[in-house]
Amino acid sequence: MAEKVLIVDDDKAFLAILAERMQNRGMEVSTAESAAAAMQLLAKESYDAVLLDLMMPEMGGIEAFQIMRRTQPEVQVIFLTGHPSVSKGVEAMKLGAMDFLPKPVDMNELSEKIKQAKASRMILAAKRTQEKIRKILTDKSW
């Protein structure tokens, strides 16, 4: 099954071209030009990976990620930034981001990261299901 990816970036040209390249690689891609638009999509769909621009107007990537994490704890976020800094990278990873990649992106590297994101998400989803089952069994004293 194809990886399902959401790209969030305020640069329309970058968004469109990255989406096309990823679709050519067989991925199912949605796009959002702002964190707010991304939240609306995430409320309706789940994604294997979210590519999140670090610097966006009104709500930046870090703040958006923190909100995403509260509503979808399994969401795998890869930050993209034109100006990677050690401090921002550390902050993102401490918050639980999957990775932090510089722009311009290396498509092969990005594709690999997205495959890893899908695998991680599936493992987390399976764990969550197991815990739910365990809780049900415990509650019913079975």
Partner 1 sequence: MTQDAGMIGQAGLQFFGKMCASVSHDIKNVLAVINENAGLLEDFCLMAEKGRPIDPARLKRLAGDIQEQIRRGDRIVTGMNRFAHSADAPSMDVDLSELTDLLAALALRFAAARGVQVHVKRPRGAVRITTAPFVLLNLMWLCLDEAMAFAGPERIVELAAEDSADGACLRFCRIRRLKDTPDGSLPTVLSSVLCSFLRAQVSFDPDANQMTLLLPKNGG
Instruction: Provide the binding-site residues for partner 1, judged by CB under 8 A.
Output: 10-11, 13-14, 17-18, 20-21, 24, 55, 57-58, 82-83, 103-105, 107
4 vs 14 by CB, closer to partner 1: 14
89: part of which helix (H) or strand (E)?
helix 86-95
106 vs 131 by CB, closer to partner 1: 106
C-alpha 34/C-alpha 59 separation (Å) is 8
**Minimum CB distance to partner 1, residue 112 (Å):** 15
10 vs 28 by CB, closer to partner 1: 10
**Minimum CB distance to partner 1, residue 26 (Å):** 12
How far is C-alpha 75 from the geometric centre of its chain's CA atoms? 6
**Minimum CB distance to partner 1, residue 123 (Å):** 30
**Minimum CB distance to partner 1, residue 122 (Å):** 27
Alpha-carbon distance values, 9 to 1, 47, 69, 98, 140 (Å): 25, 16, 18, 17, 47
Mind giving me the DSSP string for 23-46? HHTT-EEEEESSHHHHHHHHHH--
